[in-house]
Amino acid sequence: MESDIKSLSLEELTQELAACGEKAFRAKQMYEWMHVKLARDFSEMTNLSKELREQCGSRYRYTALEAVRVQESKIDGTKKYLFKLSDGNMVESVWMRYRHGNSVCISSQVGCRMGCRFCASTLDGLERNLLPSEMLDQIYAITKLTGERVSNVVVMGTGEPLDNYENLLKFIRMLTDENGLHISQRNVTVSTCGIVPRMRQLAKERLQITLALSLHAVTDEKRRQLMPIANQYSIGELMEACRYYFEETGRRITFEYSLVGGVNDTDKDAERLGALAAPLGCHVNLIPVNPIKERDFVQSEAARIRAFKDKLEKKQINVTIRREMGRDIDGACGQLRRNYKNT
Ligand code: SAH
């Protein structure tokens, strides 16, 4: 396969072009076309010679996404995009407008092999990893389509980002690079189901991103019922990895906790969750489970959710209930892609 030019860092691009006798400033111009001006192909790069553009066109692959479906929420303006990749695979991304700026939720893989019971993205397994360029492209395409700057990026769409580690890291470095969109690392969140060795590896990268851990249960037994990954790593090991991450980076972890009616939403669960979060100063994000038709999980009652939150707050835990953005537009991970594939 030809190499993927939009996944090259500025340094790598400079080296590549130097090998064909091009000066460093040409690489910088081209990088700017790809990562700041968000060109869809080489032909847009009008300050570069036609020869150079043609040479690159025959030597490199230039990824671009095509929006095949866009759904806009009538409730809150959230937009969900279904994008077609160059090989015909589909990924979904979500654009949300908040008071503090626009946030995009991106996918890191086509499908997922983690098998979490309540999640629609994993029902057909993993198809393939996304390239760094294909993760960037989701943000670039949405920036162009909305005409608005993106200030926050969350890697919480389809896929397990730490199962695509090298590409994820390259993506984060390029997204936050001053020669690209230059999004602040503090405005990037990576959500993981808890692959312990990768969490430890990530801690050593010394990034200023936020790590979110999908915890969803406070005993190993219950967590194993919801998430197969819990068969590999215990909650004890996860907490150790969280402590290590916090110590290495100084960044507090977020615990994500999907509330499933009658499964993990008792006062006792809240108490245990508080006991896990308190020593690490974790923020807890409660997500009322988004029921998918393939499973019979139901949301907790509104009063139960409030009681759960109160219990945590009494322990001085910082808690938010995730606003259900885009509830009317196939909100749950992977639903849009599945619905499209199956029609
Ligand atoms: N693989 C990563 C990121 C993708 S999922 C992870 O596990 O964190 C993003 C978040 O949405 C995770 O916390 C996941 O557990 C949660 N999630 C997935 N499907 C859901 C559903 N139907 N209802 C509520 N939360 C869900």
Please compute the mean of the pLDDT values over residues 107-120 and round it to a whole number: 97
**Do residues 111 and 102 make contact, with C-beta atoms less than 8 angstroms apart?**
no
Residue nearest to atom 21 of ligand 1 (CA): 290
What is the best residue among 113, 215, 242, 287 to mutate for testing ligand 1's pocket, by most ligand atoms within 8 Å of CB? 287
Return the pLDDT at 334: 65
Please compute the mean of the pLDDT values over residues 181-201 and round it to a whole number: 98
Give the catalytic positions in this structure: 92, 333
Q: Mean pLDDT over all residues of the chain? A: 94
pLDDT at 214 exceeding the cut of 70: yes
pLDDT at 100 exceeding the cut of 90: no
Torsion on CA atoms 228, 230, 232, 235, rounded to nearest 10: 170
Return the pLDDT at 2: 72
* Token pair listed for 74: 């009538």
Please compute the mean of the pLDDT values over residues 90-110 and round it to a whole number: 95
- What's the pTM value of the predicted model, to 2 decimals? 0.95
Distances (CA, A) of 113 to 104, 109, 129, 169: 23, 10, 11, 20
Return the pLDDT at 322: 83
* pLDDT above 90: percentage of residues in the chain: 88
Please compute the mean of the pLDDT values over residues 198-224 and round it to a whole number: 97
Residue nearest to atom 18 of ligand 1 (CA): 119
Q: Which of 200-209, 249-258, 326-335 shows the lowest per-residue confidence on average (mean pLDDT)?
A: 326-335
Residue nearest to atom 7 of ligand 1 (CA): 193
Q: Report the separation in Å between the CA atom of 100 and the middle of ligand 1, taken as the mean of its atom positions.
A: 23
* Angle, helix 165-176 to helix 132-146, in steps of 10 degrees: 40
- 284: phi then psi, degrees, rounded to nearest 5: -110, 130
pLDDT at 341 exceeding the cut of 80: no
pLDDT at 238 exceeding the cut of 90: yes
Please compute the mean of the pLDDT values over residues 129-138 and round it to a whole number: 98
Q: Which atom of ligand 1 is nearest to the CA of 160?
A: 1
* DSSP bridge partners of 154: 105, 189
CA distance 187 to 8: 22
Q: Which atom of ligand 1 is nearest to the CA of 193?
A: 7
Which residues have CB under 8 Å from 10's CB, separation 6+? 27, 28, 31, 177, 179
Return the pLDDT at 343: 57
Return the pLDDT at 16: 95
Residue nearest to atom 14 of ligand 1 (CA): 214
Q: Report the separation in Å between the CA atom of 99 and the middle of ligand 1, taken as the mean of its atom positions.
A: 24
Residue-wise pLDDT tens digits, 32-56? 999 999 999 999 999 999 999 999 9
Please compute the mean of the pLDDT values over residues 98-127 and round it to a whole number: 95
Pocket lined around ligand 1, Cβ cut-off 6 Å: 114, 116, 118-119, 156, 160, 191-193, 214, 256, 258, 287, 289-290, 292, 332-333
Return the pLDDT at 329: 73
Please compute the mean of the pLDDT values over residues 237-241 and round it to a whole number: 98
Distances (CA, A) of 343 to 84, 97, 224, 337: 16, 29, 33, 10
pLDDT at 159 exceeding the cut of 60: yes
Residue-wise pLDDT tens digits, 57-67? 999 999 999 99
3-class SS of residue 169: helix
pLDDT at 337 exceeding the cut of 80: no
